[in-house]
Amino acid sequence: MGLVRVATCQFPVSRNISRNSKRVRGQMEEASQLGADVAHFPEAALSGYAGMDLGSWDGFDWGRLVDETREIMSLARELGIWVVLGSTHRLSPGNLPHNCLYAISSEGKIVERYDKRFCTKGDLKFYSPGDHFSIFDVNGVRCGMLICYDVRFPEMYRAYKRLGVQLVFHSFYNARLSGPGILKVIMRPTLQARAASNYLWISASNSSAYSSWPSVFVQPDGVIAAQLRCDRPGVMVNMVDLSKQFYDASGEHRQLAMSGILHSGATVDDPRSRDRKSL
């Protein structure tokens, strides 16, 4: 217990549900052969990403999406592997769907679903934002899920920390970009900061469609333990081991900060301290 082998997977997500499903299932099999307990996929990995792969929901093949999801669930049961799958969850008529992650157990059952809470302005043309955090356990490791733009809000990671989460599966679709751009510069350092500030592991899976940044696996000290090749399909397996100890600069005072006490040690009652306009 407390050991999870995570396969962080990337491939060029497209609008073709059947093609996406074939990629997912192939990488699940590869992950299983590499001894992984969980296979983690990008945002909208099965459905394609609206606003990029899809221009509208008109004519979208929801039946095909359900059928292919069931195929993936069946394969998860056959392989005995968990799957964190990016997709789209249909709502009732009149409501836009959720951009979601399904947590599928090694028994082939959906045990939880996370719906992207922070949607970009573009997302909101196609998706309804979610309203909940999602937690599940694998081998004694408490896991949470986030999607893409959620990374911009440190409160999301802090909330998961408060809920006892030790591993975050964060799925992205930062691909098909018009060249190098800011996302290639800032996304990995941002993830490193989120991991180190909260002392938790992060599997960050991104689409590998050109132009993208490579999927990464981040330790609780903020170190990128491994990453895949940029703009290339791939699977990498890394171990979450809760018995290992990492450098944790803020560990001594994190609970104070989380409780609203934003200083360490005892403050003083001194007029020279209160006067902030004098030497």
pLDDT tens, 62-104? 999 999 999 999 999 999 999 999 999 999 999 999 999 999 9
pLDDT in tens, 14-61: 999 999 999 999 999 999 999 999 999 999 999 999 999 999 999 999
Global pTM reads: 0.96
Q: Give the domain ranges of the chain.
A: 3-248
What is the structure's pLDDT at 1?
A: 83
Q: What is the pLDDT confidence band of residue 181, given thresholds at 50, 70 and 90?
A: confident
Question: pLDDT for 94-109, tens place per residue?
Answer: 999 999 999 999 999 9
For 52, half-sphere exposure in the C-beta direction (CA atoms, 13 angstrom radius) is 22
Which top CATH class is 3-248? Answer: alpha beta
